[in-house]
Structures are given as structure tokens and as C-alpha cells.
């Protein structure tokens, strides 16, 4: 019945909002990773510090981070729409969403950690060619040639952000869809908004721009410094490049 469907659709919006907030928190954590990269490595590689260029690099970095989560949220959006249509909200699906985000955050943290030592040596992010030839011994050799305090600081920061991410994931409470019952039966306009607006926002995040061409390497070129330009990228985006 339409009245039941609108309740289910409203709940799907509620679930999507919680996952979107979780994604934004992780984007913030990725910015903190980038801040530590700047303080521990990039700053020493820049010949002339331009504060405006640094801000532009961080701003571009947020766009690349949002792009990652735009792609990650896209399949969840369609699953939520299917659940809303069939009015099926089993608790085990909420566990799957949490496991999904947990796996995603672990991968992001590990790639960022490994990438840090490559960047510290070469002033650029790892690409697919480097990942293809990667081994634990390769990173270990890079770590040994860097100051120990630098290694320890980034290692601790990575563990702290990894744990904080898992704490946020664990704390998410999706509730029950039947709690959305209300006298307001909803209109076709409300249904359209709840279906179309989240999709538009996710696609916009995944594209990273409103321009005809999606976010690309040239959008990270904010300075004459290669190291500062590379800092704007993230390890996940660079993985298949």
C-alpha cells in the first residue's frame, strides 16, 4: 500500500543519511591523514611555502576523498531503494552495511599507511605499478631509511584514526522502519525528492565536479610543487592509476 511504502521510503532516507554522515566523518579522517602527511613530509619538500596553495591542495583533497565515498555509496543507494520498495528491513542487512564500511575503512587506512612511506621518499603517491610490485619488505626498507620518530608518529596516527573509524561504525543505530509511521501519508513530490535527491548528491560526489568532465589528475594541480599537487590526491584514487 502507498501509505506503507512512504514509511519504508522515509526509513531508507534515514538510513542513507546515517551512512552519509559516517562517510563525511571518514572524509574528515582522510583530511587528518593528509594533514599529517603535510606536516611530516610535504612541508620539508616545498621550497617556497604558499599558504593559499596549501589551502587549495587540501580543498582539492576533500573533493578526491568525496569521490571515493560517492562510488562506495552508489551500490548502497540502489540496495536501499530495493529494500524500500519491497518494505524489507532485516537486521542482518544493517550488519552488512557496518561490515562494508568497516572493510572500506580498513582498506583506506592500510593503503594510506603504505603510501605514506613511498611519498616520503619520492614526493608522489603510489600508483598501480608500485602496488603491483609491492611487498611488506619494500615498505619495511622505506621505513628503516626514514627518521624513527616520523615512522612512529604516522603509525600511531593511523591506528588512532582506524580505531576512531570503527568506533563510529559501531555506534551507528539505524532503528526500525516501523518507527516512521505517522499521520502524514506523503505525496508523490516527497517520494520523488527522497528517491532523486540522494542519487543526485551521490553522483555529484562520485564525479567530484559539476563540469562536463569528472574529477581528474589536472584538478590536483594547484601549485608548481609536485609534492603539494600529489598531496591533494589519496591512496585509493591513485590505486588504479
Tens-level pLDDT at each residue, the chain (241 residues)? 446 888 899 999 999 999 999 999 999 999 999 999 999 999 999 888 899 999 999 999 999 999 999 999 999 999 999 999 999 999 999 999 999 999 999 999 999 999 999 999 999 999 999 999 999 999 999 999 999 999 999 999 999 999 999 999 999 999 988 776 666 677 889 899 999 999 999 999 999 887 778 899 999 999 999 999 999 999 999 998 8
Determine the pLDDT at residue 182: 64
Determine the pLDDT at residue 225: 94
Report in angstroms the alpha-carbon separations of 215 from 200, 203, 205: 16, 12, 10
Determine the pLDDT at residue 176: 86
Determine the pLDDT at residue 1: 44
- Dmax over Cα atoms in the chain, in whole Å? 66
Could you give the CA distance from residue 51 to residue 89 in angstroms, rounded to a whole number? 49
Handedness of CA 126, 130, 131, 136 (dihedral sign): negative
Determine the pLDDT at residue 187: 84
Cell 518507527 appears where? 179
The candidate with the shortest Cα–Cα distance to 226, out of 46, 41, 32, is: 46
Determine the pLDDT at residue 143: 95
Determine the pLDDT at residue 183: 62
Amino acid at each position: 500500500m502507498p501509505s506503507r511504502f512512504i514509511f519504508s521510503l522515509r526509513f531508507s532516507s534515514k538510513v542513507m543519511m546515517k551512512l552519509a554522515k559516517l562517510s563525511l566523518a571518514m572524509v574528515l579522517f582522510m583530511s587528518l591523514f593528509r594533514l599529517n602527511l603535510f606536516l611530516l613530509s610535504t612541508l620539508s619538500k616545498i621550497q617556497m611555502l604558499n599558504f593559499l596553495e596549501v589551502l587549495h591542495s587540501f580543498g582539492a583533497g576533500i573533493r578526491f576523498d568525496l569521490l571515493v565515498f560517492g562510488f562506495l555509496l552508489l551500490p548502497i543507494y540502489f540496495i536501499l531503494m530495493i529494500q524500500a520498495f519491497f518494505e524489507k528491513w532485516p537486521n542482518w542487512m544493517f550488519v552488512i552495511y557496518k561490515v562494508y564500511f568497516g572493510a572500506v575503512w580498513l582498506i583506506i587506512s592500510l593503503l594510506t599507511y603504505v603510501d605514506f612511506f613511498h611519498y616520503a621518499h619520492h614526493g608522489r603517491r603510489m600508483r598501480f605499478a608500485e602496488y603491483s610490485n609491492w611487498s611488506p619488505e619494500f615498505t619495511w626498507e622505506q621505513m628503516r631509511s626514514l627518521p624513527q620518530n616520523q615512522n612512529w608518529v604516522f603509525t600511531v596516527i593511523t591506528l588512532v584514526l582506524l580505531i576512531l573509524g570503527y568506533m563510529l561504525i559501531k555506534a551507528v543505530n539505524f532503528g526500525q522502519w516501523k518507527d516512521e509511521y505517522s499521520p502524514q501519508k506523503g505525496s508523490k513530490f516527497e517520494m520523488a525528492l527522497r528517491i532523486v535527491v540522494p542519487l543526485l548528491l551521490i553522483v555529484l560526489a562520485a564525479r567530484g565536479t559539476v563540469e562536463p568532465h569528472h574529477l581528474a589528475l589536472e584538478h590536483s594541480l594547484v601549485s608548481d610543487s609536485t609534492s603539494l599537487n600529489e598531496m591533494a590526491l589519496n591512496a585509493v584514487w591513485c590505486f588504479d592509476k
